[in-house]
Structure 1
Amino acid sequence: MGGSVKDVKSKGEVDAVVAGGSPVILHFWASWCEASKHMDQLFTHLSTDFPKAHFLRVEAEEQPEISEAYSVSAVPFFVFFKDGKTFDTLEGADPSSLANKVAKIAGSINPGEAASPASLGMAAGSAVLEAVKELAKENDSSKEKNVVQPGLSGPLRKRLQQLVDSHPVFLFMKGTPEEPKCKFSRKVVDVLKEEKVKFGSFDVMSDSELREGLKKFSNWPTFPQLYCKGELLGGCDIAVAMHENGELREVFKDQGIDTTDEAKEKESGDAKGGISKSTNLSSALSSRVESLINSNAVMLFMKGKPDEPKCGFSRKVVEILQQESVPFDSFDILTDEEVRQGLKVYSNWSSYPQLYIKGDLIGGSDIVLEMQKSGELQKTLREKGIIPAETIQDRLKRLIASSPVMLFMKGTPDVPRCGFSSRVVDALRQEGLSFGFFDILSDDDVRQGLKVYSNWPTFPQLYYKSELIGGHDIVMELKNNGELKSTLSE
């Protein structure tokens, strides 16, 4: 410690430092991002001002394991640790917030004073302060441009989709297959060559707009990114692991993608191992497939068994069904090649796993995961009578858990319908806290049910991580005592 910044190269290094219990600040940066460079100067000076804290630095795209562990989707990005646990995060170039958050976990330079752009550190030189002040102005006026924005422009999204769809196998990488510009890209290129599969590629170093847009498009923060038939498989670690356990070859086979050897075999008239191009099934096979699909209300065709999945995608769907407490049956398509190929034709769905509910195809792992996240899966299961209809208690639990800080109020934050709700909203905003809300005047079932559920007869009601904090008086008391923000950030 004592005013130094340490560059870390593995998740294990980070874990070891955090486990010591001292305050730790972890900075994710990128050499191409100007905002990162400015914030890194401030970061270095803050390490001098707060010698009792550990300041760690990670080049986000060069260390995908660490970046993915902390869900980094843009740079600069900071993670704050206290007492061995994640305490807070900060995304974007916000000098004042960085200094204040560091001071909060490591102790202010001048007790009782907030760290601000005008007093960011005793060691910070005038040039650094000027750069930081300018950055703060830009950030206030138009939010940092290097942070990935909530949406993508139509033309950029269309361009990305066209690239992804341009080849059955497509790789976004640094450099070209002939001249990779990073070891991770080189590893994936080597994997694809060993798999003897043809692929298209794009050098993300050649277009910064596309590079940043792709992170949002794919919801994947690092490069390379490997796609198969328009679906993201993952980055370097996933591609290498799938290659080593044979799963990548299975995916290519299931998607009807020829390897160089398979293509030669077909050209010579020997189609061993090739995927059937037939558009019709024998009546016997069609009947058998249909019987399997309808053998259980929820039927999963997967690789392996639920207790021993043979691929990550099958494992993902099994976990989702278990999380939703859904009874289901399964069929291991690796044990029966006839069913494996026949079901693709029957369902017009070329990959596995395949999930069916009451005989209707729901889709593969990506669709099932998306349906779970949106609540559509639970809704479908209820509509088809697989799980019981939602009770008011279930609904209240879901609403309360929909945001870490959740406020049940009269009206909305912009248009409160009572003075108590208005004051609680103001208190939360003054503390800089983000929160979800529900207007209890819009739904009498929720309004009356919540009184019984919480054993609290009045509104507003504030919850943190599904636990009731209290109403107006308790919230205002916490704020006046300076405890509101810490209570809602533990």
Structure 2
Amino acid sequence: MGSVKDVQSKKELDDAIRGPTPVVLHFWASWCEASKQMDQVFAHLATDFPHAFFLRVEAEEQPEISEAYAVSAVPYFVFCKDGKTVDTLEGANPSSLANKVAKVAGPANLAESAALASLGVAAGPTVLETVKELAKDNGSSHRESPSSDLNDKLKLHLQQLVNSHPIFLFMKGSPEEPKCGFSRKVVEILKEEGVQFGSFDILTDNEVREGMKKFSNWPTYPQLFCKGELLGGSDIAIALHESGELKDVFRDHGIPVVSSENKVGASAKPELPVSGKSGGVSDSTGLSAALASHLESLINLCPVMVFMKGKPEEPKCGFSRKVVEILQQEKVAFESFDVLSDDEVRQGLKVYSNWSSYPQLYIKGELIGGSDIVLEMQKSGELKNVLAEKGIVPKENCEDRLKNLISSSAVMLFMKGTPDAPRCGYSSKVVDALQKEGISFGSFDILSDEEVRQGLKTFSNWPTFPQLYYKGELIGGSDIVLEMHNNGELKSALSE
């Protein structure tokens, strides 16, 4: 009690859930940045709610458990009480997590607080600041441009800092005198890797300190950039360093290694990267020509190719199973390769594709992504578009696309923005009404697709948004949904 425990087996989990104590499960993956952020909140909540079990499940390493709880994306949370699942939460939403924990685990072990009430989170003081900061950044991560709140002058200044060196570190203190242990550790790693880097002490400029959180959509420091792209914070830098992948990242980006005689940060002549071979693979990846050629031939074995754990008829992890199901739902012919059967391919493809996990979906030799991306693409209709553009399936007309989107979920909301970050008050009110009723629903951001936005007005003969559908039939807009909610008719109407 009061701490987080990693689950080692399904029997261990089943025994915990059968007991009288409420249980909160966090399904996570080591490669997922959102999982790592939410893990901070999860750990703090475990302290504030000592009368519940807080258990972590590494989703890919415990496929039996993940499949039992229908986990297809991480982070994912399951709330259990009296031996039953009473609620779930998908995605990185710190405030929702804190509220759902409070509902299942009872009052937090602390006195009433005006600050807590104003935040709307029934959590204790140890989690308060974490929830505030991560909730703010999580909300911004769903907007098209998290840096849109920054003025042009500051944005330009931050961009110039990020691009001032191939490797750049925003830290507390200086490399010679770090002001926090996390910054010190990243500096030590970069020195061990033998690379030059620039740095900026965020303690000297609060505008830069706060601005970079929005610019990079990353809530903490240090922040490590390579060729203008954010790699992450200290935990990611440490993991990449310990696995040897950080060296690969630097090599792939043509970052020169400084000889032991040179100081880190001193000027040095960069080594030119080796010119690329066919398939976009260069010697700088560290792959042999034979392995690179083998991987390329596997990727192009079929127009649609899945590298997965197990086989389509017998997947060995829930994420692989989900991608197979999606392709089958889209009625797409595909080939697969079981990465568990060949460790050389399993490790080599991570380097070749610069993608650290499985499954990996390729269409016409191009990496699409893993299960999270494929699932989101299917929900938005983008996967069907890509398949059509690549000539895998016939291109659907606008009306067929709208019908497929409307029927993609039993309850489907076409709105401005996303449920986590609505872009208009009417959409926000409808989302709030559905969530208060405990209704699961799919959604589509009509601001992201002008064809859907305009086409749906004609298709439904309804000129405004949001629009709510149930089993393919239009329910109405915000006025109708809110009236049904206030009259107590909404839940029954959406569950007939």
With normalisation by structure 1, the TM-score equals 0.47
With normalisation by structure 2, the TM-score equals 0.47
Tell me which structure has the larger Cα radius of gyration.
1
